[in-house]
Amino acid sequence: MTRQIFLSHSKEDQNLISDIESVFSRTNLNLITEYFEQVPSPPSEKIKRDIKNSEAVFVLLGPSTVEPGIHTSNWISWEIGFGTARGKPVWVFEEVNNFVDFPVPDLTDYMIYDRNKLGDIQKIRKQVESEFDASPQWAPGMILGAIIGGALGESMEEGGWAPGALIGGLLGATGADGEPEKNAIQITCPYEDCKQSFKLRGTPVDQFPCPTCRKQNILQNK
Ligand SMILES: [Zn+2]
């Protein structure tokens, strides 16, 4: 069975959905985007089954998460809760200039991105690939094995063998722009009544609203 990610979203935020769909078009993961009209009733049964079978729940926050009224936000809240109850990673996606006042009580990862920056979309794809082992061409473990195997063969001829240096070099891979990849920063919200922990990912920011309490977090020592 093809592995899948469940997308919790408002169907009104179609351009945001397209962003995420483009991320998935080149991975070996399916993105499950459900629209109630197409789901046999009651929709909750199909959604529960799909979340159970998913690697993670991705939550797309956009203007329509809260705008049209309580209906959409209620379903999104329930999908997040069902995902966390099943122990699924919950990734919250939000546009950098379009924060939504929608508190997410529990999450594992918070991705802030600029949908006008192609680099950000590529970054999301890379992080999804590495976190969910979703690259279509190869599995990282296989490559590592192949390179070590190859180097071992060479070193026997040359008499020099430095596995530490080789693995170190490989793990310290750089991104397309030559900068070292910094995929995520571990954050614990500093407010006493929050203290939610999550991995902050995506576009570099100086400050952001905590996805749980929605109070401003300021990053130091970037
Ligand atoms: Zn907080």
Residue 150's pLDDT is: 44
186: CA distance to ligand 1 center in Å?
13
181: CA distance to ligand 1 center in Å?
26
216: CA distance to ligand 1 center in Å?
8
Rounded Cα gap, residues 179 and 71, in angstroms? 43
pLDDT exceeds 70 at position 77: yes
Concatenated DSSP letters of 92-153: EEEETT-------S--SEEEEE-TT-HHHHHHHHHHHHHHHT--SS--HHHHHHHHHHHHHH
Report the amino acid identity of residue 156: M
- Is residue 181 very low, low, confident or very high in pLDDT (cuts 50, 70, 90)? low
- Is residue 125 very low, low, confident or very high in pLDDT (cuts 50, 70, 90)? very high
Q: Which residues of 162-186 are buried (b: 16+ CB within 10 A; e: fewer)?
A: eeeebeeeeeeeeeeeeeeeeebee
- Is residue 201 very low, low, confident or very high in pLDDT (cuts 50, 70, 90)? very high
- Is residue 136 very low, low, confident or very high in pLDDT (cuts 50, 70, 90)? low
217: CA distance to ligand 1 center in Å?
8
Rounded Cα gap, residues 84 and 108, in angstroms? 9
pLDDT exceeds 90 at position 151: no
Rounded Cα gap, residues 130 and 102, in angstroms? 28
214: CA distance to ligand 1 center in Å?
6
Mean residue pLDDT across the chain: 82
Whole-model pTM? 0.79
Residue 2's pLDDT is: 84
pLDDT: which is higher, 5 or 161: 5
pLDDT exceeds 60 at position 153: no
Q: Identify which of 66-80, 94-108, 173-187 has the greatest average pLDDT.
A: 94-108
Select 4-134+182-218's CATH number: 3.40.50.300, 3.30.420.40, 3.30.565.10, 3.40.50.2300: 3.40.50.2300
| Averaged pLDDT for residues 133-142 | 59
The packing angle between helices 118-132 and 14-24, to 10°, is: 50
**Whether 120 contacts 202, CB under 8 Å:** yes
Tell me the pLDDT tens digit for each residue of 10-62.
Answer: 999 999 999 999 888 888 899 999 876 778 889 999 999 999 999 999 999 99
Residue 138's pLDDT is: 47
- Is residue 183 very low, low, confident or very high in pLDDT (cuts 50, 70, 90)? confident
- Is residue 74 very low, low, confident or very high in pLDDT (cuts 50, 70, 90)? very high
Rounded Cα gap, residues 116 and 90, in angstroms? 24
Q: Could you give the 3-state DSSP secondary structure of residue 185?
A: strand
Question: Residues within 5 Å of ion ligand 1 by Cβ?
Answer: 189, 194, 210, 212-213
pLDDT exceeds 70 at position 158: no
- Is residue 104 very low, low, confident or very high in pLDDT (cuts 50, 70, 90)? very high
54: CA distance to ligand 1 center in Å?
27
39: CA distance to ligand 1 center in Å?
35
In 3D space, the residue among 87, 133, 86, 127 whose CA is nearest the CA of residue 110 turns out to be 127
In 3D space, the residue among 216, 4, 219, 198 whose CA is nearest the CA of residue 104 turns out to be 198
For residue 137, give both structure tokens.
């061409």
Domain boundaries, the chain: 4-134+182-218, 140-171
For 50, phi and psi rounded to 5 degrees? -65, -40
18's enclosing H/E stretch is: helix 14-24
DSSP-derived letter for residue 37 is G
- Is residue 221 very low, low, confident or very high in pLDDT (cuts 50, 70, 90)? low
